[in-house]
A and B are shown apart, each in its own frame.
Chain A
Amino acid sequence: MAAVEGWLRRAWDHDLAWSFRRSPVTLLAAFLTLVCVGSAVFAPWIAPQNPFDSATLNLTDGFTPPAWTDGGSTKYLLGTDDQGRDILSTIMYGARISLGVGLAAVLFSAVLGVSLGLLSGYLGGRLDAFVMRVADIQLSFPAILIALLIDGVARVALPRELHDQLAVYVLVLAIGVSGWVQYARTVRGSTLVEKSKEYVQAARVIGRHPLAIMLRHVLPNVTGPVLVIATIHIATAIITEATLSFLGVGVPPTQPSLGTLVRIGNDFLISGEWWITVFPGLALVVLVLSVNLLGDWLRDALNPKLR
């Protein structure tokens, strides 16, 4: 127990924690992210209603405006949509999907990108040339297009019945593949730097296998920038997923993400039921902005030259 306490005290005192505490913007961003993530994770327990359980829905409650306006009620804080679903609850459940897909896609991207970057940088030669050319080619296409392409191919390749079931996985794959290049490039650059350092040469003199050197010596030293890229990439991944869902090629309507909600609500904008699209949109903005700000802080805090 004393050891944990000691560790906590040292962590609190650490330069990173100190720079974190000092910046009010970062603290706010962290708080908001925590709120978003918390409500997404605990949605089944804290959401006022389960919007996807049709038994709990009351069609007559449809199109209720937000609580503080005329005609609103405190039962539905942010109003309801056309089917009587509580907007607040749909946002919480939608955030689950958005965050889930975003995090999974980033994990996929990171693993793929870091591995390729490490191998390219360390082994060099033809492998390096090939991987970097593929990366260059991929970079000449917008990420959205890559994701759309993979999604389209998957739809054609998979049997129709499985579409909805596998949609989320295909989405993760699509966004993941569209984003590996930035990890690979950064890690390759760092690997090239570390490779020439003498501790790597010492390991070679000792006789270690190249794979062991890559994993045990080089990898721990090149992951710093990866964390920063990943944090900012989460925001991009969430936006990409939202865009794809908005376009109708993302998650199936039975599991709407924040993007899907914006799309659905869009149809009602003209008839005046603005809350159905605005609140999910706002939630998306808050989530992405706070993650971005956190990423900014992390990048500056980890940059030894700025300290």
Chain B
Amino acid sequence: MPKPRAEASASGAALAERPLLRLHDLGRDFDVSRPWLNRVIEGTPRQLLRAVDGVSLEVRRGETLALVGESGCGKSTVARLIVGLYAPTRGHVEFDGLDLSAARNADEARSQRRRMQMIFQDPYASLNPRWRVRDIVAEPIRVLGLAASRERELARVGELLRQVGLSSDDGEKYPHEFSGGQRQRISIARALSGNPEFLVCDEPTSALDVSVQAQILNLMTDLQQQLGLTYLFISHNLAVVSHIAERVGVMYLGRLVEIADAEELFLRPRHPYTRLLLDAIPDLEMSGKARTPVGGEVPNPLAPPTGCAFHPRCPHANARCTAERPASIATARGMVACHAVEERRI
């Protein structure tokens, strides 16, 4: 689909410059062992949960990259690793060329982190119920020292509230006086008040009704255009992702299995899990196409299958899939990790 001229040259320039975010073989383990005493008495070993296992990807300036997957795939953990809520066990996060976890960069890392913000899933838990809305939105402004005076700060808060579709009087109210959609708007206003360039959005519309979701998605699209933001959009809802994302990454049990341009992923999915996911989306068009839902469920992340994590449910699995973990194969604008694709069996 031919893009308008201006956009084409802009994306050409974007390709040439350094990506805004880069994840290098990122990994995070959680120790979910039973308490020491229980382990000694029962003789059970330490248990490590590999929530994220070797994720590498890039996000270019100005684009929206979506990360999709079902529960337990690690996409929310990746989001938290990026913004620094967790420290990586392996690998590192690189923001605008700077390795955020390297010790000597601690101060610089902190100031770089200020260029990114996060929007959370639950509109009822993401705002402090005891704070007024204006204090909630003003917090980043105060912490970063962005306003010279109280009046400037209040003015900026009012401006932000209007920008997200609320009124500046709403600053006086408390979160419980607002609906779910309005609270998400307040969360967005808070995220924007620190003038970030990069927004990590963890399922921002999953808890909202469909009509409210449409409002919030439109708002986020408008803001991206107005402010030149870059989004990392986490979701389990492929329909939403198909609407808002330019590139999509698919995760399964902590591993990245495929990344491609949105159009490419939805029309020509390569990885068997991507195909399963696309097949499972309820068909609103009611084309009546027969679907055979693939059996099985996501395995227990504490005891992942050997080799390729998807092999127990994969219709194309062979002996190699059971033994060897697939390496990441670079494609035109992304990657895929599948032996069957590599061997050109599918």
Residues of chain A at the chain B interface (Cβ within 8 Å) = 197-199, 201-208, 217, 220-221
Contact = CB atoms under 8 A, between A and B. Distances in A.
A197 B125 CA distance: 6
B126 A205 contact: no
B279 to A, nearest CB: 32
B139 interface: yes
Contacts of A208: 139, 143
B110 interface: yes
B122 A207 contact: no
A284 B121 CA distance: 53
A122 to B, nearest CB: 14
B85 A204 contact: yes
A220 B131 CA distance: 9
Contacts of B117: 205-206
Given A198-B126, A221-B129, 4 more contacts: A198-B121, A202-B126, A204-B85, A221-B128
B120 interface: yes
Contact of B120 (A201, A220, A221): A201
B51 interface: no
Interface in B205-229: none
Contact of B85 (A205, A217, A220, A221): A205
A203 B139 contact: yes
B139 A206 contact: yes
Interface in B103-140: 110, 113-114, 117-118, 120-122, 125-131, 139-140
Contacts of A206: 117, 139-140, 143, 194
A220 B128 CA distance: 9
A197 B131 CA distance: 15
B19 interface: no
A220 B175 CA distance: 15
B83 interface: yes
A224 B83 CA distance: 32
B61 interface: no
A208 B113 CA distance: 12
A199 B143 CA distance: 15
A221 B140 CA distance: 20
Nearest to A217: B128
Nearest to B114: A207
A198 B125 contact: yes
Contact of B126 (A199, A204, A207, A221): A199
Nearest to B187: A202
Contacts of B72: none
B83 A205 contact: yes
Contacts of A203: 128, 139
A82 B290 CA distance: 100
23 contacts: A197-B126, A198-B122, A198-B125, A199-B125, A199-B126, A199-B127, A201-B85, A202-B120, A202-B126, A203-B128, A203-B139, A205-B85, A206-B117, A206-B194, A207-B110, A207-B114, A208-B139, A217-B131, A220-B128, A220-B130, A220-B131, A221-B128, A221-B130
Contacts of B122: 198
Contacts of B140: 206
Contact of A207 (B113, B125, B128, B190): B113
Contacts of A205: 83-85, 117-118
A198 B130 contact: no
Nearest to B200: A205
A47 B110 CA distance: 65
Contacts of B126: 197-199, 202
Contacts of A201: 80, 85, 118, 120
A53 to B, nearest CB: 49
Nearest to B202: A198
Contacts of A221: 128-130
Nearest to A209: B143
Contacts of A217: 128, 131
Nearest to B110: A207
B129 to A, nearest CB: 7
